[in-house]
Amino acid sequence: MESDAAQIPISHKALAWFDANKKQALTGAGVLLVVGVIVAFFLYRQNEAQVAASEALSMVAMPQMAGPGARTDTVEGYLKVAATYPNSGAGARALLLAAGGLFVDGKYDEAKAKFEQFRRDYADSPYMGEALLGIAACLDTQGKAREAMAAYKELIDRRPGDSNVPSAKFALGRLHAAQNEPDQARTFFEDVERTDPYGSLGDEARMQLEDLKTKFPKLLAPVTSLPTNAAPFKVEKR
């Protein structure tokens, strides 16, 4: 008998198990079906929200394409999108654009607050570098040099490979130069020049280095020869 049972096809065994456990099997299948429907609905709604957020962001951004004069209520529109779709990529971008708009309008405290909100709410965003640079730029523009320098360094330390790092380093060079700290300024300008040798930022860094050479001639002076009191080097004759 055992040998006959071993030869029963697997499909027959499954049918036999189903007949014996029909109620449990149907209950389990029903649960899986419900879970699948819920997951599918959630993904659908999530995608639907992302699409709606993107469309709302486009509606706010579109008038700007007509020219600078069409910028009325743009910041408010971005903030509305950010508040309506807080967990979407478009909502994150809208918050960042609103912060940038406030900065352009000269509302540096408000802009900084929105950049900081972005830093808190979207820690994993690929746009984090822009937010950190925005915070530093707000402090920089307000003349808070030391706070701005710390903010620029935060960007460099947290996101060393970010595309905004050269701008942060250039700003640090400029601030160190303004603080009569030419050694530090030179380090940052030279780094920018190496990073962006053919770009506009690299060109500007070279110009800043030339200014440093003019203001601090000893800083970039060539290495001097041996002092005059050094013993002469003798060549022995053979």
CATH number of the structural domain spanning residue 178 = 1.25.40.10
Pair 40, 121 in one domain:
yes
Residues 69 and 50: their CA atoms lie apart, in Å, by 29
Least confident of 50-59, 129-138, 158-167, 209-218: 50-59
Pair 80, 48 in one domain:
yes
Query: Which of left, alpha, beta for 236 (phi over 0: left; psi -120 to 50: alpha)?
Result: beta
Pair 166, 83 in one domain:
no
Supply the pTM of this predicted model. Answer: 0.67
| Residue 225 counted as domain residue | no
Query: Which pLDDT belongs to residue 2?
Result: 47
SS3 184: helix
CA 171 and chain centroid, separation: 17
User: Which tokens belong to 23?
Assistant: 């109620």
Pair 91, 59 in one domain:
yes
| Residue 185 counted as domain residue | yes
Domain hosting residue 182, numbered range: 148-219
Stretch 170-188: mean pLDDT: 95
Q: Is the pLDDT of residue 96 over 60?
A: yes
| Residue 21 counted as domain residue | no
Residue ending a domain, choose from 125, 160, 181: 125
Least confident of 14-18, 65-69, 84-88: 65-69
Identify residue 128 by its one-letter amino acid code. Answer: M
Number of domains in the chain: 2
Nearest to 127 by CA among 153, 100, 160, 162: 162
Nearest to 91 by CA among 66, 64, 62, 114: 114
Contact by Cβ (8 Å): 196, 167: no
Pair 209, 153 in one domain:
yes
Identify residue 60 by its one-letter amino acid code. Answer: V
Identify residue 46 by its one-letter amino acid code. Answer: Q
Taking the C-alpha atoms of 188, 189, 195 and 198 in order, what is their torsion angle to the nearest 10 degrees? 170
Pair 163, 91 in one domain:
no
Residues 171 and 137: their CA atoms lie apart, in Å, by 9
| Residue 139 counted as domain residue | no
Pair 118, 171 in one domain:
no
CA 115 and chain centroid, separation: 11
Residues 142 and 138: their CA atoms lie apart, in Å, by 6
Q: Is the pLDDT of residue 102 over 90?
A: yes
Stretch 132-160: mean pLDDT: 96
Pair 79, 119 in one domain:
yes
| Residue 95 counted as domain residue | yes
Pair 159, 110 in one domain:
no
Stretch 96-105: mean pLDDT: 91
Pair 115, 75 in one domain:
yes
| Residue 120 counted as domain residue | yes
Query: DSSP per residue over 56-91, as a string?
Result: HHHHHHGGGGG-GGG-TTHHHHHHHHHHHSTTSHHH
Pair 197, 109 in one domain:
no
| Residue 10 counted as domain residue | no
Q: Is the pLDDT of residue 213 over 50?
A: yes
Pair 158, 96 in one domain:
no
Residue ending a domain, choose from 93, 125, 157: 125
Query: Which pLDDT belongs to residue 40?
Result: 38
| Residue 171 counted as domain residue | yes
Name the DSSP letter for residue 221: P
Query: Which pLDDT belongs to residue 57?
Result: 45
